[in-house]
Amino acid sequence: MELLTKRLRLRPCREADLETLATTIGEPAVNDWICNLPSPYTLADARDFMRRTAALEKGWEGIVALRDSGALVGGVRLTMVGDEEADLGYWVARARWGHGYATEAAAALLEWGFRELALQRVIASTLPGNRPSQAVLRQLGFRYAGMRATQVDACGPQRVPHYLLERPTI
């Protein structure tokens, strides 16, 4: 599946993306905010990501690239956590912060998820200090649902801000 927005292309990861993906997501400014990633993030990790996301049966995870140049901007995912509920995640390359790419990419994927997956709600969590990511969620219409205990692989047990978006009614 590919989704197009005004500026972006959401698409599957390709072999040609792997080196840039490993370098970009491996930057501490990015990697420090994503707990379930290996650190350091290697080319083998990027290859595992490509294989895993290509094999997803429901939900979606992939690359966010600039529509005109194809340059990698980040990644976005909807991971199913129930028949009608998914978890939203996204990241943006450090050099691309502040341009609205996370909001644009996530909005396109949410629209697709509500339409194609018949989602009724989407949840999302951030690390406590990740205010830019929390702002993205608010811009997308998520409401703060409180602090939630979680066990995130590399970050260990902690309480994180939890957000909820209900299916829009028209």
In contact, 96 and 74? CB cutoff 8 Å: yes
The letter for the amino acid at 153 is D
pTM (global) more than 0.95: no
Residue 170 has pLDDT above 90, yes or no: no
Residue 17 DSSP class: G
With a CB cutoff of 8 Å and minimum separation 6, the contacts of 83 are none
| d(C-alpha 140, C-alpha 105), whole Å | 11
| d(C-alpha 119, C-alpha 150), whole Å | 23
Residue 152 binned pLDDT confidence (cut-offs 50, 70, 90): low
pLDDT tens-digit readout, 87-139: 999 999 999 999 999 999 999 999 999 999 999 999 999 988 899 999 999 99
Give the mean model confidence (pLDDT) for residues 150-167.
Answer: 78
Q: In the prediction, which pLDDT does 26 show? A: 84
Domain annotation for the chain: domains and CATH numbers: 3-166 (3.40.630.30)
